[in-house]
Copies of this chain bind each other. A is one copy, B any other.
Amino acid sequence: MSAPRRIDVSLESVRRLLRVGATPNLINLLQKQHPADLAQIFAELPEKERHAAFNTLVERNGRLAMEALSELGPEQGAELLSQRSAEEIARLSQDIASDDAAALIEELSDDLRIAVLDLIHPRPGGGVSELLEYDERTAGRLMNPHVFALPEDVTVAEAIVGLQNARDVEMVFYLYVVDERRHLVGVVSLRRLLLVSPDTPLKRIMTTDVYSARVDLDQEEVARQVASYNLLAIPVVDAENKLVGVITVDDVIDVIKDEATEDVYRLAGVSVDDGVLTPPADSLRRRLPWLMLNLVTAFAAASVVGLFTDTIEQIVILAAFMPVVAGMGGNAGTQTLAVVVRGIALGELTWGNARQALVKEVLVGVGNGLALGLVGAIGAWLVTWGNWPLGFILMAAMITNTFVAAVAGTLIPLGLRAIKVDPALASSVFITTLTDLFGFLSFLGLATIFRRYLELG
């Protein structure tokens, strides 16, 4: 696929050095990599070699190894840590940002997680255990509690000295300004700091209109704000507007990617924890309930067919065309669903324009039904050597079914959203069930009503 990537070369070398057991050379090579590239190398190595490479690196350069795990993602990262002792994991966790450490520790087995949390020394300003107290998928869980903040009376010169002493705070772009009780009162960009005289107090140059996120804000909403307002970081405050942390744009990018994966997965009935590298037993366990639900609804649709066995016995060719009607409705419904679900996720579809969207989808659905029905009718007419009533019934059933698909594809996700269920979840099973039911019902129902015309064909 495309040009060879830079890391392919490193990957090959890692495998070779592991094979010949050249540990010093391997350590050298691994230490030269960016944590993100190391994560990619770990991801692509077979399981045994992945553990061997990680174990070699972690002994020599614990911080780099842990940074690579942060990039690799919590689930796979925790798997690589699982063979280490709680003492070691606790010590290694101190080397990376608390939010990344919390995500890794959260994925350890219950026993190990409790042991590690017991050992971790509380850090000033909030540490791993504090972060894990916030709900998953909130600003509190996502934030880094080490945020660079200064009182409003500090001068620019003093602020610069403060920055020099804060070398271990990751990615500083903004100085947050707080009052004596640590309430967030303003923000100063680093660039602004460069452009004013050193004795200016921060309160003279700070912007007081600060975008901030409450600890309990949903992470998707945090991402939407950072993306809309083109921020590099957003401060996180508690219920009293006290500054408790900061979320940087790189974490927001991860949220946006995860939410996108979620939208794709939910439309397909896959759990968010599933992936190409998930162990088969876990994937099986996660996918089966969804398929079982589908099986139940498929039996419901089958029972509709069962009502019309007399008609099918007489005109057996109906059995061949009936899945066409159901399938086309399902496809049209899935199109509407994808547009509506993504529209909700991107904030384009709201209550304000829901009616406009519904009218539009119905027009498109019925338009498609007409065009498809016409082609389908001609196809059926050709295949059955001139049975035009069958073609007519096929067309009528298709139009009915694309209408149902458009209405269901718009209203079901909006309805789920209204009752605070993720609109992507479960929508697709409802819609394909409806289009199967209505597809069979309209086609076989019409065929039963006009049975005597069909038999002439």
Interface residues of A (CB under 8 A from B): 1-2, 11, 34, 36-37, 40, 43-44, 46, 71, 160, 163-164, 171-173, 190-191, 193-195, 226-230, 232, 249-250, 252-254, 256-257, 259-261, 263-265, 267-270, 274-280, 283-284, 287-288, 290-292, 294-295, 298-299, 301-303, 305-306, 309, 312-313, 316-324, 326-328, 331-332, 334-335, 337-343, 346-353, 356-357, 360, 363-364, 367-368, 371-372, 375-376, 379, 383, 417-418, 420, 432, 436, 440
Contact = CB atoms under 8 A, between A and B. Distances in A.
Contact of A436 (B71, B323, B353): B323
Contacts of A301: 323-324, 327
Given A227-B250, A284-B367, 6 more contacts: A173-B232, A261-B346, A264-B341, A274-B339, A290-B331, A295-B372
Contacts of A173: 173, 190, 232
A1 B351 contact: yes
| Copies of this chain in the oligomer | 2
User: Which 5 pairs across A and B sit closest by C-beta, in order of nearness?
Assistant: A260-B260, A268-B338, A276-B343, A36-B228, A305-B320
B270 A298 contact: no
Contact of A44 (B227, B278, B350): B350
Contact of A346 (B257, B368, B420): B257
Given A276-B339, A319-B322, A327-B436, A284 B364 contact: yes
18 contacts: A164-B195, A227-B253, A252-B253, A257-B260, A260-B264, A265-B342, A276-B353, A278-B360, A280-B367, A291-B372, A292-B372, A301-B323, A302-B321, A302-B324, A305-B323, A306-B383, A309-B320, A312-B312
A335 B270 contact: yes
Contact of A269 (B270, B334, B418): B334
A270 B338 contact: yes
A363 B288 contact: no
A22 B352 CA distance: 22
A349 B252 contact: no
Nearest to A321: B302
A268 B337 contact: yes
A295 B436 contact: no
B292 A375 contact: yes
Contacts of A269: 331, 334-335
Contacts of A356: 46, 277
A404 B224 CA distance: 40
Contacts of A294: 327-328, 331
A274 B252 CA distance: 26
Contacts of A172: 191
Given A44-B350, A193-B194, A228-B36, A320 B303 contact: yes
A116 B163 CA distance: 47
B320 A316 contact: no
A348 B260 contact: no
A299 B379 contact: yes
B229 A34 contact: yes
Contact of A305 (B36, B319, B341): B319
A39 to B, nearest CB: 8
Nearest to A347: B40
Contacts of A302: 320-321, 323-324
A320 B436 CA distance: 12
